[in-house]
Structure 1
Amino acid sequence: MKNFLPTILLTGLFAFVSSSCTKDHLIDAQIPETNKEPTSASIQGNVFEPALVDATDERVAQLKVPTGFHIAKFADQLKKPRMLAVSASGNVYVTSREAGTVTLLRDTNGDGKADQTEVVADIKAVHGITIHEGKMYLVTVKEVYRADINGDGTLGSRQLLINNLPDGGQHPNRTIGFGPDGLMYLTVGSTCNACAEPNAENATILRANADGTSRIIYASGLRNTIGFGWHPQTNELWGLDHGIDWLGDEQQKEELNQIKQGAFYGWPYIYGDGNYNPHPRPMGDTTYAQILAKTTLPGFSYEAHAAPMGLVFYQGTSGGFPAEYQNDALATMRGSWNRTKPSGYKVVRVHFENGKPVRIDDFVTGFLVNDNRAQFGRPVGIATLPDGSLLFTDDNNGVIYRVSYQP
């Protein structure tokens, strides 16, 4: 069992610039617009990481899901599974960044559990995965690969499409998806918690042709957007962005953004509903107010430090989830470390009305145990099976879980 990390209280005094704003997490904050005056802010930050315990049958049995739903292990002993993709035939593919593998899992007898497992690719630091027009696309820190999917589910020879994505730094978890426009979208996180990036492609979502050509910065100012997808009715792109650490227990909240071409989302200078980040300051003579004026604020916010990872809009077939789940999103929250009381460690449902998010409810909870001092699951990847059931990964205990509806 991993030891508990002690709670560490960190108080930082930052010298910097911007417009005066005092928030409940910034003590005596003075943030002027320009560096003609000093900036100061005292911030209390906390570290608490629950201990890791085994995903025993007894612990799995106490997981909580809405009435009529059932959860069980689809596969385990997978070391550190991350992102998922599912083929039309029901083949499940999962990446492991740590192992550098793509694994194929099959449920050949339809009992809701994988009974065949096969490593179908070895690629260092592979993370993002998607299937588009019958081909597999995989992304590492700097590369994008494409491969044919053979009739038995294995992969053909890989073709290198891109080899010069930005360095990973603090956030090397690239993800990939194809939009209704048939174009490739790639997430590229920041190299740091909050800093001025020398490479304009960091802290962005990129867009390219399916063969990797004509790459552009689609949206910027996104600290670390991993989970994203297109609303089935509106075709609008939504993404979950990780908030800045070390701004206190309740800040920065995680953001659900409608991602638009050419839009800027504020990082590293603006966060939340228009708050100024004390450090770093805007470059040169630029003021916070000028940056705020061009910032697109989040469409919805969620509990700080919950660490959103995967997002899928539910479009299950008949026999899947109840009709009310159609076109809502399900998202994984891997869980906090920069907070006194843990947040995340769960799967949530994002309710959409008229194409816009209106609230977020718990969907799978119970991974935190022993009065929140331990956990046995940190959800990451998420996908739906052809039968309408839901899969999500846990990269701590090496489990893929399946959630089904059987009223």
Structure 2
Amino acid sequence: MKTILKWSLGAAAGLGLVVACSDAENIFKEMIPETNDQPTTAQVQGYVFRPALVDATDANIRQLKAPAGFTITKYAGELGKPRMLAVSPAGHVYFSDREAGTVTLLRDSNNDGLPDSKTTVANLKQAHGLAVYAGKLYIATVKEVYSAPINTDGTLGQPQQLINDLPDGGQHANRTIAFGPDGMMYITVGSTCNACAETNPENATVLRANPDGSGRKIFAKGLRNTIGFGWHPTTKELFGLDHGIDWLGDEEQKEEVNKLVQGADYGWPYIYGEGKYNPADRPKGDTTYQQYLQKTTLPLLTYQAHSAPLGMVFYNGTKFPAEYRNDAFVTMRGSWNRSVPSGYKVVRLHFENGQPTRFDDFVTGFLIDNNRSQFGRPVGIAVHTDGSLLFTDDNNGVIYRVSHGG
């Protein structure tokens, strides 16, 4: 069932909700002054539509589509709710399950391209972000970061707590973690809300710290919820995909591709997309929208609103055609705040001369029954040591493998 919501925004009245029952076109009519001495008005038609979940049957998996020459197979199933992925140099595959609070190891002892054992290697409440660095597996929960030595067989030693005071999770509790070319630890911390003035300056940021967790500082801010991020293999520049604000209509706010630079402010919650004003949230004090816009770093590219980018990985393997090398793959988990679903796919982000240029579909077909049902919401993504691409689905508990050639 579709629910149609009309939002009315007023400078004095705040945010009100009116339920309407028409199928009129999406509206975004606004008058947004620079200061409070005039009323703010905006009307937005918003939808809630969640495609029904169906099983990831062999028949459904067979109809998944990828470019010519690529093959999509089930790498592992019945995994609970697998989220983020990490692969060690030895080929050990790890995935987190935040709901279960576990990290699981998948091993392929006979090198046939499929795991033949599954072992829980860590039990940490709300474990989510994973990164392999310097012989250790790093694990991020909502408020903590741990590291554990990786044994020869892929199991872990006792996790050591490095950080225990990350901000509260709120609406966006899915922390991710990675290590940059500078050897520093980067941690994403989403906003506690859809759009608001945060009280903790570390919310809606990317943080940077030493590998032992010390020296933590804000690297970049104004990022509503950047989960997928990574460094271009050649230029070593950092890029990330930020989730747009909900309840601005079917086509707003688009997802953002940002070049993440130390000290930059990416505008949330006041400025979004190509420099647009968020009518529900005005910059604090005497700062006008225009003044805030002047200090905002705008995205390099945008993607269809509400697609929900989750994982991002640059392809550095050798098994895909050469044209794929140094491009990025992004999982789009899929929409709920849109009349026609967006996302539910894996996309390729092209880079030319080190800069993002466009998106192309890479794995599609999870939406079926004329978009009324789905059997997969892609989340984590990683390049395996064999050059294949792995990605998780946390709805049906599957990890998929994309390979090329024989």
Contact 1:112 1:402 in 2 (8 A): no
Is 1:37 aligned with 2:38? Answer: yes
Alignment of 1:170-185 (within 5 A): 170-185=171-186
2-structure distance, mates of 1:47, 1:26: 15
Residue 11 of structure 1 aligns with an amino acid whose one-letter code is K
2-structure distance, mates of 1:357, 1:260: 15
2-structure distance, mates of 1:195, 1:27: 20
Task: Specify the alignment match of 1:21 in structure 2.
Answer: none
Contact 1:237 1:258 in 2 (8 A): yes
- Report the secondary structure of 1:289's partner residue: helix
Deviations along 1:36-72, one digit per CA (max 9) or x if unpaired, are 1110100000111000000000000000011000010
Q: For residue 164 of structure 1, report the CA deviation from its aligned partner.
A: 0.2
2-structure distance, mates of 1:74, 1:150: 23
Task: Specify the alignment match of 2:334 in structure 1.
Answer: 335
Q: For residue 151 of structure 1, report the CA deviation from its aligned partner.
A: 1.2
Task: Specify the alignment match of 1:154 in structure 2.
Answer: 155
Which one is further off, 82-91 or 281-290?
281-290
Task: Specify the alignment match of 2:231 in structure 1.
Answer: 230
TM-score, structure 2 as length reference:
0.96
Q: For residue 109 of structure 1, report the CA deviation from its aligned partner.
A: 2.1
Contact 2:85 2:380 in 1 (8 A): yes
Q: For residue 26 of structure 1, report the CA deviation from its aligned partner.
A: 5.3
Task: Specify the alignment match of 1:403 in structure 2.
Answer: 402
Q: For residue 193 of structure 1, report the CA deviation from its aligned partner.
A: 0.3
TM-score, structure 1 as length reference:
0.96
- Report the secondary structure of 2:228's partner residue: strand
Task: Specify the alignment match of 1:8 in structure 2.
Answer: 3
Task: Specify the alignment match of 2:91 in structure 1.
Answer: 90
Deviations along 1:350-392, one digit per CA (max 9) or x if unpaired, are 0000001111000000000001000000000000111100000
- Report the secondary structure of 1:46's partner residue: strand
Q: For residue 16 of structure 1, report the CA deviation from its aligned partner.
A: 2.6
Contact 2:191 2:203 in 1 (8 A): yes
2-structure distance, mates of 1:275, 1:399: 38
Is 1:204 aligned with 2:199? Answer: no
Is 1:355 aligned with 2:354? Answer: yes
Contact 1:127 1:139 in 2 (8 A): yes
1-structure distance, mates of 2:233, 2:28: 43
Alignment of 1:189-200 (within 5 A): 189-200=190-201
Task: Specify the alignment match of 1:250 in structure 2.
Answer: 251
Gap regions ≥5 residues in structure 1: 1-5, 18-23
- Report the secondary structure of 1:211's partner residue: coil
2-structure distance, mates of 1:117, 1:157: 19
2-structure distance, mates of 1:246, 1:112: 43
1-structure distance, mates of 2:31, 2:302: 25
Deviations along 1:210-253, one digit per CA (max 9) or x if unpaired, are 00001000000000000000001110000010000000000000
Deviations along 1:14-51, one digit per CA (max 9) or x if unpaired, are 1139xxxxxx9654311000001110100000111000
Number of aligned positions between the proteins: 394
Contact 2:271 2:289 in 1 (8 A): yes
Deviations along 1:171-191, one digit per CA (max 9) or x if unpaired, are 000000000000000000000
Alignment of 1:1-400 (within 5 A): 6-16=1-11, 27-317=28-318, 320-400=319-399
Residue 270 of structure 1 aligns with an amino acid whose one-letter code is I
Contact 2:29 2:44 in 1 (8 A): no
2-structure distance, mates of 1:27, 1:93: 44
- Report the secondary structure of 1:129's partner residue: strand
- Report the secondary structure of 1:228's partner residue: strand
Root-mean-square deviation (CA, aligned residues, Å) is 1.1
- Report the secondary structure of 1:265's partner residue: coil
- Report the secondary structure of 1:157's partner residue: coil
Residue 53 of structure 1 aligns with an amino acid whose one-letter code is V
2-structure distance, mates of 1:281, 1:324: 44
- Report the secondary structure of 2:111's partner residue: coil
Contact 2:148 2:159 in 1 (8 A): yes
2-structure distance, mates of 1:306, 1:212: 32
Q: For residue 114 of structure 1, report the CA deviation from its aligned partner.
A: 1.3
- Report the secondary structure of 1:9's partner residue: strand
Q: For residue 110 of structure 1, report the CA deviation from its aligned partner.
A: 2.3
- Report the secondary structure of 2:298's partner residue: coil
Residue 205 of structure 1 aligns with an amino acid whose one-letter code is V
Identity of aligned residues (%): 68
Q: For residue 345 of structure 1, report the CA deviation from its aligned partner.
A: 0.2
1-structure distance, mates of 2:205, 2:28: 31
Deviations along 1:120-171, one digit per CA (max 9) or x if unpaired, are 0100000000000111100000000011111111100111100000000000
Contact 2:28 2:249 in 1 (8 A): no
Contact 1:16 1:31 in 2 (8 A): no
Gap regions ≥5 residues in structure 2: 13-24
* Runs of 4+ residues over 3 Å off in structure 1: 24-28
Task: Specify the alignment match of 2:19 in structure 1.
Answer: none
Deviations along 1:328-350, one digit per CA (max 9) or x if unpaired, are 00010000000011000000000
Q: For residue 285 of structure 1, report the CA deviation from its aligned partner.
A: 1.2
2-structure distance, mates of 1:192, 1:205: 16
Residue 179 of structure 1 aligns with an amino acid whose one-letter code is G
